[in-house]
Each structure stands twice: as C-alpha cells, then as structure tokens.
A and B are shown apart, each in its own frame.
Chain A
Amino acid sequence: NAGVTQTPKFRILKIGQSMTLQCTQDMNHNYMYWYRQDPGMGLKLIYYSVGAGITDKGEVPNGYNVSRSTTEDFPLRLELAAPSQTSVYFCASSPPGGRRETQYFGPGTRLLVL
C-alpha cells in the first residue's frame, strides 16, 4: 500500500490564483481530513469527510472547498489564494471509528502565496 499520497509537493501561487491540492489513499478508509500547519503551530483542521459524498467544515474552512466523490480521493480547492494561506497542508485518513483511530498522514504540500 502506498498509504496517503499528496500532490504537488511544493507550489508557489500568486495572490488571486486558484489551485487544487490532490490527496489519495489506498487503505479503503472512510474518514479523510485536511489540515494546515503554520510554523510553530499545531495542526488545524480545515475540512473532513466521513465517506464518499459527505464533507463537513473543520476549524478553519474559510477560503477552501472540498469534494469527496470517491472513497480514495479528497481534493482541497483554493479559489482565490491569499498570503494567509501560505502553509504546509497535510491530508490524513483513518479507518472506521474516525478520530478515535490512528490518523495516517500524507507527506504534505508546501504552499507559498506571494
């Protein structure tokens, strides 16, 4: 199993541009999550999904959108990039039991908005 994979690894965006961060897991996990990690800070939950077709907001959803059309994929969309969205983005998944279970993290996407 590849686990959780994320693309791209690194991206520079100009203010106002849009992009999609890709996340795929091959562990057949129901739960998937998007976090952002700012320097010296913990992980903040952006959005999560409990299964295909179901998504919900986390702590910091503003400026982001998600979709979950399949069990495997959980893309994160930035519509109008802002400097405040400069961060490292981690996708994670967990088996049934959700947050009571181990979260498996992807390698992350480093995003710089200039």
Chain B
Amino acid sequence: GQQVMQIPQYQHVQEGEDFTTYCNSSTTLSNIQWYKQRPGGHPVFLIQLVKSGEVKKQKRLTFQFGEAKKNSSLHITATQTTDVGTYFCAGLRTQGGSEKLVFGKGTKLTVNP
C-alpha cells in the first residue's frame, strides 16, 4: 500500500493566497525529495532535504523536513498562476539494506487569477 501519504489531494486558491502541502511517512526517511509536474508535463526536481529539521527556501517556496524525519511540507507564499501543477514528495526508505524511493500521490494546485 501507499507508504507516503500526501495531503491535501487537491487545493484551489486565489492568486496571492498561500498554499501548503504535507507529506507523512509511517517510517523514518533517509531523505525527501520534492517534484513539480505541470499539467501535461513530467515531474521536475525541486529540492532534496536530508537533515532532521532542515528548512530550505527557494524564492517563495519553503521546504521543511520534520525532526523525526517522518514528515515534510512545502509552503508557497503568495501563489501565482505559474505555480499551477501537481507537487509530489518522494521519501527515501532504507529497508533490509536496499533503498526504496516512494512517491506520494501528489497535491494538485490550481490558482484562480
């Protein structure tokens, strides 16, 4: 089953409003990656978080990795129409000596101009 839960599944905002998507894992993650997929496009890497409690910023985007390395969030300040797309988290789990990257189902963001 799905081992990385991402919420909400959909989010519609007015341009200028903030947006947050959350990613939760039942097990500790080695790292977490975030990707953005524009409508009709392919996933594009945004950022990777590795350390417990890590916070990284890219302009209006803020990414956090929880202290327990089981959850993460992506926050967009003052959304723009160019932010439209689906945002995926992908958690790296180490199990039995092998690594497995598990994608969440994504949060689809629409922005009303």
Contact = CB atoms under 8 A, between A and B. Distances in A.
A104 B88 contact: no
Interface in A34-72: 40-45
Given A98-B99, A100-B99, A90 B105 contact: no
Range of interface residues on B (Cβ < 8 Å): 20 to 34
B58 to A, nearest CB: 14
A75 interface: no
B44 interface: yes
A75 B88 CA distance: 25
A102 B33 contact: yes
B76 to A, nearest CB: 20
Pick the most buried of B2, B4, B9, B101: most chain A CB atoms within 10 A of its CB.
B101
A90 B99 contact: no
A71 B62 CA distance: 36
Interface in B1-33: 2, 4, 6, 9, 30-31, 33
A100 B104 contact: no
Contacts, number: 45
Nearest to B9: A40
Contacts of B9: 40
A42 B42 contact: no
Contact of B92 (A99, A105, A107): A99
Given A40-B9, A42-B105, A103-B45, 19 more contacts: A41-B105, A42-B4, A42-B6, A42-B88, A42-B104, A42-B106, A43-B103, A90-B43, A99-B99, A99-B101, A100-B99, A102-B33, A103-B35, A103-B43, A103-B90, A105-B42, A105-B43, A107-B41, A107-B42
Interface of A: 40-45, 90, 98-100, 102-108
Query: Which 9 A-B pairs give the minimum distances between C-beta atoms?
Result: A42-B103, A99-B101, A105-B42, A43-B103, A42-B105, A102-B45, A105-B43, A99-B99, A108-B42
